[in-house]
Amino acid sequence: MLRFIALSVIYAISLIIFQKGLLVKRHVLPLKSSCSDIITSENCWIKPKYNKSIILIIDALRFDFIFPYENCMGTQRRDGDEKYYHGQMSKVAKLLREQPGNAILFPYIAEAPTTTFQRIKALVTGSVPAFIEAGDNFDGTKISEDNILDQLLASGKNATLLGDETWLQLLPERFHRHFEEPSFDIMDLDTVDNAVIANIFNEIDRSDWSLIIAHCLGVDHAGHRYGPAHAEMSRKLLQMDKLIWDLTQKLPQDAILFVLGDHGMTSTGDHGGDSLNELNTALFVYTHPKGNDSEKSFSAEFDCSGNYWCGVEPVSQVDLVPTLSLLLDVPIPFPNIGQIIKHLFGGDSYQEMKLNAFQMFRYAQEYSKHQIELKEPLSKISRHYENAVNSNDLSLTMKNLSDEIRSTLDQFHFGLSLVGIFSLIDSLAFNCFLICEAKNTTPFCLWIFRSAMILLQVNCNPYIFTTEQILPWSVLGSLISTVFLLEDKWKASKITKLFVWPLFVLLFFHWFLELTARIVKEKPPTPHSAYSINLFENLSQSLAKSIFTVAIAHFFAIKFFKDENLNKINWLKSTYQMLSLPLIMLVGADYGWRMAFCLILFPVADFFFKNENKNWCWLMSLLAAYCFYATGNQRTLSSIPWRAAFVGLPGNFAHKWVSASFILTAMFFGQLLASLMAHMKEETAPFYLILFLAIKVFGSVSASLLHHKHLMFYKVFAPKFVFDAVELLTCCAFNFIIYLLTMSFN
């Protein structure tokens, strides 16, 4: 047991070191903006347009949920599943239609990862968190850098919080009054929203507030529990529509109302990734018709005639921070990289844009001291900034600067990554040593060869999107060899064997006929088989089947030929391999992988028939991996099974680690079963199981290191590394717990 603990610890240390080098958090600067940064006669930075503001956050408010289809020419309300979430917010549509100068709707673009912590951080600081900070969503740390709430307090103003308690965890001691409710229970659709509705109008009646933040969670929870196409989603949207209407009727004349979503949701109600449905949310802004000394408060009007984007440009989520700061006349937070929404200032917004650009360039100059790559583009953009003569020039300059800053936010420490990957290699060698020491029957060079085969089979780049379809073939090969191994040990009757063999034949054809590839970017359906197919559709299919048939024949040859006769079929193996390589190139990507898979069946057959225990562990490892996809999981943040956290537990259970363990068990249930079975075998079986997983992780680590500058790094390679690493550590934890239980019962 001590050896297993030591092995698990060095695996964990290796992965942590590698992660620290590959996925580095953004460097946080301790500097803060202040009124003294700008010299004015009366105000802090600029004359305020409003004295108060209300921010109503409707969690997971996707843009099409609030889009007024009934207002738009040529756009009709749909009658399918969309009827539950399209056209439900009719009161908002009425405001847009009847008060175009005081009500406006913007497409509001969030940034991945679309998790609540990152979105709140963007909403208050104007910065873009790094990818790895998605983990803070489950154990969020306090926000320490400059933010809009700290600027309000420094300016003698105050803020009130209603709803989601996450704000208090991230920004403690910032709120003058707070009426929070627990937010973790996704089965509860009403508690948080009802608390907001019960308290917000009493707060508006008070005179001692400057900012009210109300965060409703019902729409998000309805999505998680039922998906958007459900009557409960319709009910929650209608409730939010009424709340918005009531707020507009009671809004003070010197206040401005922002209604926004922190992110969207997928067709299944999940979020966390970077699909369009997850990124596209909405920003609705409203002012009192008699406020601000004019009937019209905005320089743009809602116009969606045949235009899904409402006739206005989409705005970034970080743009709210500088906009709200200058509307209330507080300093723009120092780390902000957003630019003001100029339509909300009316007329020419050159002065506001100039202040915004001043703040952004100050931040860029300080940040470039810690990020050398930013210095050269910053000097070029600075020249354009100095020559800017109007608001459009400033807007373009800030956009270019913001893009450059974003490109440097996710840093990469190559040296630390190399230390991590070499440490992982050392861990693999130690794992092999522990196995060989217990039963010294396998040459070390053979372990290297087998590792290469597994890496080729499971971790090659073409398999990244279709791993769930590669694994059935791997499992099938292992099952066939296992049947051969156990044949001599069976004591069952001939009738029993008569039923077992047809079972494997059906299994073979069940997976063999699955030739239709699918690449799904969000959450794929559970793998299944296509039972109807034209067996002679084209040459590529015929070649793939022929090659696979030859490979299966080799299994029979290994089983039934005597050892001295095996050399007589070497010509068959050599010819087969020489012909397969050019055929793979000829048939292309659709069927080439099947032939490449067949190439490794020869060494797999030799390996399987010589060692029963290793064959069994390999089979269990493949079945565990296939179980991950067969249960509907995928290596994306948006596919995490949150419902598992509430099995047998109340939604607001205090010990979050219990809920987290339920989620991990639901995701990696196959590894739990494999670990239980491994402890029923000999002592080295758990080490074999961990080794096979570690080899797969090594493939993910290598791919991540190689492609850290790849366009799809944060969409493909980084999530795969994170999930594979968590799977390995979870399997180590499962085995450790089983060790403890075994010792306690013995």
DSSP state letters, 559-581: HHS-GGGGGGGHHHHHHHHHHHH
Edge-to-edge strand ranges of the sheet holding 177-181:
177-181, 159-164, 211-216, 52-58, 255-260, 280-287, 103-109, 315-316
State the pLDDT at residue 524: 45
Calpha distance 734→745 (Å, rounded): 17
Tokens for 437?
A: 């020491």
> Contact at 8 Å (CB) between 64 and 285?
no
Q: Are 340 and 322 in contact (CB under 8 A)?
A: yes
What pTM value is reported for the model? 0.71
Q: How far is CA 377 from CA 292, 353, 368, 591, 710, in A?
A: 40, 21, 10, 45, 21
pLDDT score of 520: 41
Structure tokens at 516: 């239709």
State residue 608's pLDDT score: 45
* Closest residue by Cα to residue 475 from 608, 610, 666: 608
Nearest alpha-carbon partner for 704 in 687, 725, 685: 725
Strand, coil or helix: what is 283?
Answer: strand
Tokens of 615: 């064959």
How high is the pLDDT of residue 585? 47
What pLDDT score does 236 carry?
A: 94
Angle between the N-to-C axes of helices 2-22 and 685-706, in degrees from 0 to 180, rounded to the nearest 10: 10
Q: How far apart are CA 688 and CA 441, in angstroms?
A: 14
Distance CA 307, CA 75 (A): 9
Q: Report the distance separating Cα 689 and Cα 435, nearest Å.
A: 11
Intervals of CATH 3.40.720.10 along the chain: 50-334
Fold of the domain built from segment(s) 50-334: Alkaline Phosphatase, subunit A (3.40.720)
- Closest C-alpha to 451, from 618, 671, 685: 618
Kind and range of the H or E run holding 596: helix 589-599
pLDDT along the chain (746 residues), means of 10: 84 87 79 86 85 94 87 56 86 89 89 78 85 58 88 92 90 91 84 94 93 94 90 94 95 94 87 81 88 55 52 84 94 93 84 92 90 86 86 90 82 78 83 72 50 48 51 55 48 49 53 44 42 42 55 53 49 50 48 51 49 65 81 78 75 73 85 82 81 88 81 78 90 89 78
Structure confidence at residue 345 (pLDDT):
86
Q: What is the largest CA-CA distance in the chain?
A: 100
